[in-house]
Structure 1
Amino acid sequence: MNKLTNFQLLQAFFAAILILTLLLHTLLSGIPFSNLLHFLSHNLAVSLSCAWCLSISIIYYLCTRPRPVLMLDYTCFKPEFDRKVSLESGEYFVRRSGRFTSESVDFMLSIFQKSGLGEETYLPPFIFQTGYDAKLQSAIEEAMEGIFSCVDSLLSKTQIDPQLIDTVIVFSSMFAPAPSLTSLVVNHYKLRPDVRTFNLSGMGCASGALSMDTAARIVNSSRRITYALVVVIESISLSWYFGDDRSMLISNSIFRVGCAAAMITNDPRRRKDAKMELVKSLRTHHGADDSAYTAAFQKEDELGNLGMSLKKDLVRVAGLALRDHIRSLAPRVLPVSQLVAYGYSVIMSVLSGGAMKPMVPDFKTAFDHFCIHTGGRAVIKQVAEVLRLSDELTEPARMCLHRFGNTSGTLVFYELAYFDAKQRLKKGDKLWMLAFGTGFKVCSVVWKSLRDSCEEAENPWTDCSHRYPLVNW
């Protein structure tokens, strides 16, 4: 996204021609540089030649300069009050189903208690129904509820006519129906027939950050004004595991309902209305390593029950992948002072034969706020250790996990909403979104805030932000 295009190279070429033309005429004519303007004013051919080169350069600059990638606004889905699940009600639901052994129920409750989730996270509708059995329609209804709620709110906040939307991107890791979820959006909002749609799945919890990177690449590649509607949804109804494999029972204990939507554009005229501007994005894939590839894996157990297996070494894999990722990210975002110090530490590590470890760059010098992966208590702790982040900086992730649970790809948006609810974002602040995904993927998105945070009625934290942060989380 940041590489020079062919047009930009041609622009630089014409600029070079202009400079060389002036120098060549000056040297061949023996005219002092101080008299260059006088020479040009008396030599029509040279003046016209220079003017032509300058005009072409200006035209190409105006035509090829990259437009900003702006997030006009975003929204997060908040289910109804009666969809909240506490430890007590969760135990009641799983025991009532009769689908689990007592040992499996006790294990899920133990994971729930240790995970960092609170008593107000949300589960899909089928959990509260008598049959306690998810069907395709259950998953579709869950998706529709979240998507329509978020998009309706987003269109209201941005005042964008749906007919202006020319790109729709939907990320859903586990649920991919036919027709696709993008078709669902196009049909419901009656979008125009030439709308481009991208329906992506299998990205795991990184899909929220990846969706922003994907949208940025799409609008940045367009030479016309583009409005991209991005939806991140995780319909967990069909992902609920009914078996006794402990690596697969974990997902029942930590994954919760979540949906988010954002409007991305490259229209520079909307800068005054936009919430944030993209500064940098980076995605790395570590799937070549077998342990990384299988760390989080959808499969069937011995009895044919489908579920998501979260391996014991998932936290270790996340730590290693993060270290590799930040080695690529650091040179792109850190100030020179940090890069010099880091380079020196690497050299000393080599000279000492590994006795001295390279320093961990201080990312607080590059970012004002952090939206880190809210996968679970252990994952947050691992990220904090790798990046040397204090409890204050991981507060949004920890509180988001407590209030909403692991909402998969949407977790970075619920954290962003936490900053807005607390009115912590100031104009010019830089915010780092960092998320992991199955495969194993790591994605970073860096935003610059274009305005101060303000209290909003649609914010999912509005009715509870005063209770956070928790003292004894």
Structure 2
Amino acid sequence: MDVVNFQYRVFKKSGLGEEASYLPPSINPGLCGNSPQTGLNDAAAEAKLVLFGAFEGLLAKTGLAPADIDILVTTCSIYCPTPSLASMLINHFKIPPGIQSYSLNGMGCANGVVAINLIRDLLQAHPNSNAVFLTTEVTTPAFYRGKDKSRLVTNVLFRMGASAMLFSNKRRWAGRAKYRLLHCIRTHTGARDTAYRCIAYGPDDEGHNGVSLGVNVVDEASHALTNAMTRVAPHILSWGQILAYLLNTGHKQLAKLAGLPRPPTFKPAFGQGVQHFLLHAGGAKVLEGLGASLQLAPHHLEPSRAVLHDYGNVSSSSTWYALGWIESVRGVARGDKVLQVGVGSGVKCGVNVWKAERSVHDLHAAWEHCLTPERRAALAARRAA
């Protein structure tokens, strides 16, 4: 009973909606009762359900055929089958043998952002190519059956989901492209033992596998985020904010030399130079921390909060779900900048800066429910709060 009460308390503070988010039949209590099934066949069934659906949706929206895909990249942290997830897609959709495929595993929630670095490099090396990126976290093998509270949290937060994106350097896509990648930053603080160990998948004392979240997760994530944002800041901050930062740094050094109290550290307001933010929806406290670190207004956090409320922590897909919400509910104007931030095990942090090539107001199936009168009223109330 203590285990149930603990998970209920975590859930009430998680930011997840009580009638939203999804679990596969194998571990959904409403379908499997007290007998969750976490075998390889169950994991494969979940992977096929979400990945095939996401890929089919992308092909339908773009008008592409499987044979038009030149590069395929998949990411999933816990579930790492042989043959790979990329091979699973190639077999199901009968993609021709010229395809270049990569399956990335064990890289956590950040990889929906961090992997853009790989896709960018692949497209630079292969002109006139289409690259498809699929993200998911198969929740079935990550389900934890034990009593360790550090591992039970993920049972409450993580939910099933997937996203599929097309990237291209073909000229014929120039007129239809939504965004252009301006900057791509990634950091890895795994040389620090505390960072390396703060998120890990493995057995507890009784042999039950689960994802363990250390008490220092937020501190280590903040450290990695600070490192990444320091590198990307000169590209997106105004000259006024850059000057204020330099002056603040100089004042702190002078105060140190003079033995005087050091002035507060200058915190730039990233919302002044960026219109939209895609933040990893790991949990309510994680979002609050990210918002405070970046000096963001409530409306900047609204897309990620909507993802967390309606779909839960969908791991590497969360920032792409947030982009789908923005395009479906709010819209993006030509020239707008979009900042995408992902933090995950390792600890890794990725920051991508995108620029809208055209105005975008594209309804995504995942957010169709947002267009009901009741939902519109709720969104308006949330903005007014």
- Within the candidate set 309, 331, 334, 1:427 is matched to 334
Listed as ranges, the matches of 1:229-240 within 5 Å are 229-240=132-143
Tell me what 2:78 maps to. Answer: 174
Quick check: 1:211–1:232 contact (8 Å CA) kept in 2?
A: no
Query: Cα distance, 1:182 vs. partner?
Result: 0.6
Tell me what 2:5 maps to. Answer: 106
Quick check: 1:291–1:317 contact (8 Å CA) kept in 2?
A: yes
Query: Cα distance, 1:421 vs. partner?
Result: 1.4
Quick check: 1:150–1:260 contact (8 Å CA) kept in 2?
A: yes
- Within the candidate set 175, 179, 192, 1:289 is matched to 192
Which letter does structure 2 place at the counterpart of 1:109? Y
- Within the candidate set 208, 218, 226, 2:129 is matched to 226
1:307–1:292 distance in 2 versus 1, CA, 3 Å: same
Tell me what 1:156 maps to. Answer: 60
1:423–1:390 distance in 2 versus 1, CA, 3 Å: closer
Listed as ranges, the matches of 1:265-284 within 5 Å are 265-284=168-187
Residue aligned with 1:157, SS? helix
Quick check: 2:79–2:141 contact (8 Å CA) kept in 1?
A: yes
Query: Cα distance, 1:111 vs. partner?
Result: 0.6
Tell me what 2:151 maps to. Answer: 248
Which letter does structure 1 place at the counterpart of 2:212? S
> In 2, Cα distance between the equivalents of 1:431 and 1:139?
34
Deviation by residue 1:33-85 (Cα, 9 ceiling, x = unmatched): xxxxxxxxxxxxxxxxxxxxxxxxxxxxxxxxxxxxxxxxxxxxxxxxxxxxx
User: Does residue 301 in structure 1 map to residue 185 in structure 2?
Assistant: no
Deviation by residue 1:169-192 (Cα, 9 ceiling, x = unmatched): 000111100000010111111112
User: Does residue 412 in structure 1 map to residue 316 in structure 2?
Assistant: no
Tell me what 2:217 maps to. Answer: 314
Tell me what 1:332 maps to. Answer: 235
Quick check: 1:423–1:455 contact (8 Å CA) kept in 2?
A: no
1:465–1:315 distance in 2 versus 1, CA, 3 Å: farther
- Within the candidate set 25, 49, 52, 1:125 is matched to 25
Query: Cα distance, 1:363 vs. partner?
Result: 1.3
User: Does residue 212 in structure 1 map to residue 119 in structure 2?
Assistant: no
Residue aligned with 1:432, SS? strand
> In 2, Cα distance between the equivalents of 1:444 and 1:220?
19
- Within the candidate set 344, 352, 357, 1:445 is matched to 352
Listed as ranges, the matches of 1:183-222 within 5 Å are 183-222=87-126
- Within the candidate set 132, 141, 145, 2:45 is matched to 141
Query: Cα distance, 1:455 vs. partner?
Result: 4.3
TM-score by length of 1: 0.76
Deviation by residue 1:398-453 (Cα, 9 ceiling, x = unmatched): 12111111000000011001101113211111100101010000001111112223
Tell me what 1:115 maps to. Answer: 14
Deviation by residue 1:180-234 (Cα, 9 ceiling, x = unmatched): 0010111111112121111101111111112322211210222x20111111011
Which letter does structure 2 place at the counterpart of 1:368? Q
Residue aligned with 1:434, SS? strand
User: Does residue 346 in structure 1 map to residue 249 in structure 2?
Assistant: yes
Residue aligned with 1:188, SS? helix
> In 2, Cα distance between the equivalents of 1:441 and 1:330?
18
Q: Which stretch shows the higher mean deviation, 401-410 or 385-394?
A: 385-394
Listed as ranges, the matches of 1:32-51 within 5 Å are none
Identity %: 31
Quick check: 2:229–2:351 contact (8 Å CA) kept in 1?
A: no
> In 2, Cα distance between the equivalents of 1:350 and 1:414?
43
Quick check: 2:280–2:342 contact (8 Å CA) kept in 1?
A: yes
Residue aligned with 2:205, SS? coil
Q: Which stretch shows the higher mean deviation, 436-445 or 394-403?
A: 394-403
Backbone CA RMSD of aligned residues:
1.6
1:210–1:339 distance in 2 versus 1, CA, 3 Å: same
Which letter does structure 2 place at the counterpart of 1:124? P
Which letter does structure 2 place at the counterpart of 1:185? L
> In 2, Cα distance between the equivalents of 1:299 and 1:347?
46
> In 2, Cα distance between the equivalents of 1:419 and 1:118?
19
Quick check: 1:280–1:447 contact (8 Å CA) kept in 2?
A: yes
> In 2, Cα distance between the equivalents of 1:464 and 1:164?
33
Residue aligned with 2:317, SS? helix
Query: Cα distance, 1:459 vs. partner?
Result: 2.7
> In 2, Cα distance between the equivalents of 1:366 and 1:351?
29
Quick check: 1:435–1:443 contact (8 Å CA) kept in 2?
A: yes
Asked which structure has the greater CA Rg, the reply is: 1
Quick check: 2:46–2:140 contact (8 Å CA) kept in 1?
A: yes
Residue aligned with 2:369, SS? coil
Query: Cα distance, 1:315 vs. partner?
Result: 1.2
Residue aligned with 1:444, SS? strand
Tell me what 1:60 maps to. Answer: none
Q: Which stretch shows the higher mean deviation, 176-185 or 267-276?
A: 267-276
1:341–1:221 distance in 2 versus 1, CA, 3 Å: farther
Tell me what 2:165 maps to. Answer: 262
- Within the candidate set 355, 365, 368, 1:462 is matched to 368
Query: Cα distance, 1:465 vs. partner?
Result: 4.7
Which letter does structure 2 place at the counterpart of 1:422? V
Quick check: 1:295–1:314 contact (8 Å CA) kept in 2?
A: yes
Which letter does structure 1 place at the counterpart of 2:161? G
Residue aligned with 1:463, SS? helix
